[in-house]
Amino acid sequence: MFEQQDLIDKILSKCLGDVSGGVNLRLIAAGNINQGIFVGTSSGRFFLKTNFEPSADIFLREAEGLRLLKSNTSLTVPEVIAFGREQDQNFLLMEWVESGRNADLYWENLGEGLAELHMATQKQFGLQEDNYIASLPQINSIQEDWRGFFISNRLEPLVGKAFYKGMIDAPFLRKFQSIYPKLQGIFPKEKPALIHGDLWSGNVMTDAKGNPALIDPAVYFGHREMDIAFSKLFGGFSERFYNRYDEVFPLEPGFEEREAVYNLYPLLVHLLLFGTSYLPPIEKTVKYLVG
């Protein structure tokens, strides 16, 4: 019997109704946060995510993010079937995206699709609801100014949490906070863009037709360069992706000088989730900014 069979049976019965025709289960991923399971039934194939996170709304927010992506880009985004909580576990049931080989224009299509997403806008930075990046709460309080949003909703909460957990000391906390005035004027003035928010290679798939698919978002209306910078943090994508994106929605000059500043946020996320091996690149960027 599959591990946690009773739990899975209850979830599937709640979401799909009668599945007495038989269910095929296969463990896809057992990460630090989520467990991913392939579910094959007579009525279709699905992907089930579960976790023990105490935040009961974590998959509600992910479902909202997936639906927001799906309505604002032509890229493949899995359809949400259901979400909820069962036996102290959160669950999210989605359409199964069959994986294939990259089509000839895979990277160009990803560049165009991301540019299309970034063209969705609203008047202010943020989102009506807070959500999560991985398992960490992500504050999306609405602000008019990107710099203020980035400092108060992205950097300050996480660097404070790192200090509280003993991952950085008081002198470094003060040094980090001393970069805030130096961010004045560094970011180009742009309209808020709908961004994926957690854009690295692990959250981009290839669907059955060879087209790019987006998963695991941490969406909000932010500066679009956040997505581009994050995509470069852990190896980056093909240059064909960046070239096509820039053809469709050109970046302002000087992005390379801003890239490390944007990536302070995902590096702080990784510091809190995975430990102090992620501290040196943060220290390097702070040293560059404060001299």
Tokens coding 164:
């509280």
Residue recorded with tokens 């692990």: 202
Q: In sequence order, what DSSP letters do the residues of 132-180 get, joined into one string? A: EETTEEE----BS-HHHHIIIIIIHHHHHHHHHTTSS-HHHHHHHHTTG
Catalytic residue among 198, 207, 216, 246: 198
Which of 162, 118, 110 has the alpha carbon at shortest distance from 267? Answer: 162
Note whether 138 and 207 are within 8 A (CB): no
Residue recorded with tokens 């599945």: 19
Quote the CA–CA distance of 271 and 202 in Å, as a whole number: 18
Contacts of residue 65, defined as CB under 8 A and 6 or more positions apart, other chains included, come to 131, 197, 217, 218, 219
Which of 204, 258, 211 has the alpha carbon at shortest distance from 235? Answer: 204
**Catalytic residue flag (residue 169):** no
What residues are annotated to the active site?
198
